[in-house]
Amino acid sequence: MLHVPITAGWFLALLCVITVALVTGTVLAFRRSRGWKPWLAGGVSVLVVVVTVAAFINAHYSYYLWLDELTDERTWPDAAGKGPHPDGGVLSTAIPGQTSKVSAGDAMVYLPPQYWSEPKRAFPVVYLIHGTPGAPDDLFRAGRASDAGLAAARSGFPVIVVAPSAGQDWTSDTECVNGAQGQWDTYVSVDVVAAVDHNLRTIHGREGRAIGGMSMGGYCALNLGLQHRDTFSTIFDLSGETGPSFDAGMPALFGRVPDLTAVVNANTPGTYVSKLPALPLERIWLDCGEDDDTGPLEDMTAIAPKLQARGFDVVFKTRDGGHEWAVWRAALSESIPWAAAAITATTSVGPPV
């Protein structure tokens, strides 16, 4: 399939011209003739209208950038084989819920080129949580996480990037909490970390780990990162709110626990941040669109000074756009290398453990 930029203005304008021409031709065909031909023209017109509407929706959220991505072709380098892999590579792997007992989809893992060129080296890890609806491959297809990982590697800060599944399927909204849908906090913070440390050459310990995400995954990263400071030293939250926002309500998210209010507050960074123990400190990157992303922007504006008051090293960035992939792609291109540099600089490089 052709490598055509489907979010470009000229492409969308061309679709509009074709759509108007077909619809006009269909109307004239029904006026001038009978039989099956006008109905065929009408069917084609409806199909093209649907395609045009879908193209504009896609352009708004900036998920697919190129026409050939619609064939589900990989937009990231494949880690198949022993290498060498000059751009690094991505593999898909199952991570069982050993402790949490949840059933999760496959995780995606980016390995930097140094993973093959330096076979005795151990690497820090950036954990990356997707939004909802969503899946790990969103972060590589729309988010270009492998490009960000490669940029970090070329800057001298190679890291492994792990994007686990944060739900049973594409529509799951677990918010990464231990609740009615399962023990998803435990899955991400315990099962995934343990499996990655066991199967890959990683630097063990909090200083060698960062956690980040976008939208729901941004909230997950902030909440899990703050609650498990013995596991993670660095957090980046892209357009995530600072509390759970489950549409069906808190009882449906956490279950009918005896003290629901206390459980919700314990999973609301905007509420518990002022009560956090002084140590250990963390680095935190907050990033959000300035347009039509009111909830996360207000939350981040409120929590940033509270985190700074507690002694955390906080970066807070806003950028043009809303709750969309154009914002998150740009944010990932900056925050992943930032996190990679931060955790690599504070960990010693040595043999696998």
Q: Which two tokens stand for residue 171?
A: 């529509």
Instruction: Tell me how far apart the alpha carbons of residues 341 and 112 are, in angstroms, rounded to a whole number.
Output: 14
Instruction: Tell me how far apart the alpha carbons of residues 72 and 237 are, in angstroms, rounded to a whole number.
Output: 28
Q: Given pLDDT bands bounded at 50, 70 and 90, which one contains residue 336?
A: very high
Q: Give the amino acid at 106.
A: D
Strand ordering across the sheet containing 89-93 = 89-93, 107-111, 160-163, 125-129, 209-214, 234-238, 283-289, 313-319
CA-wise closest residue to 269 among 293, 290, 245 = 245
Instruction: Tell me how far apart the alpha carbons of residues 344 and 157 are, in angstroms, rounded to a whole number.
Output: 6
Q: What is the pLDDT of residues 203-242, one digit of tens each?
A: 999 999 999 999 999 999 999 999 999 999 999 999 999 9
Report DSSP state, residue 190: I
Report DSSP state, residue 71: G
Q: Which two tokens stand for residue 82?
A: 């022993």
The domain locations on the chain are 9-70, 74-345
**Region 74-345: CATH code:** 3.40.50.1820
Q: What is the pLDDT of residues 240-257, one digit of tens each?
A: 999 999 988 999 999 989
Instruction: Tell me how far apart the alpha carbons of residues 35 and 186 are, in angstroms, rounded to a whole number.
Output: 63
Q: How far is CA 311 from the centre of its chain?
A: 27
The CA-atom distances, in angstroms, between 180 and each of 73, 106, 173, 177, 258 are 36, 21, 11, 9, 13
CA-wise closest residue to 273 among 239, 302, 294 = 302
DSSP string, 25-61: HHHHHHHH--SHHHHHHHHHHHHHHHHHHHHHHHHHH
Q: What is the pLDDT of residues 42-91, one digit of tens each?
A: 788 888 888 888 777 766 666 666 576 666 667 788 887 777 799 999 99
Q: How far is CA 261 from the centre of its chain?
A: 29
- What pLDDT does residue 350 have? 45
- What pLDDT does residue 27 have? 82
Q: Given pLDDT bands bounded at 50, 70 and 90, which one contains residue 320?
A: very high
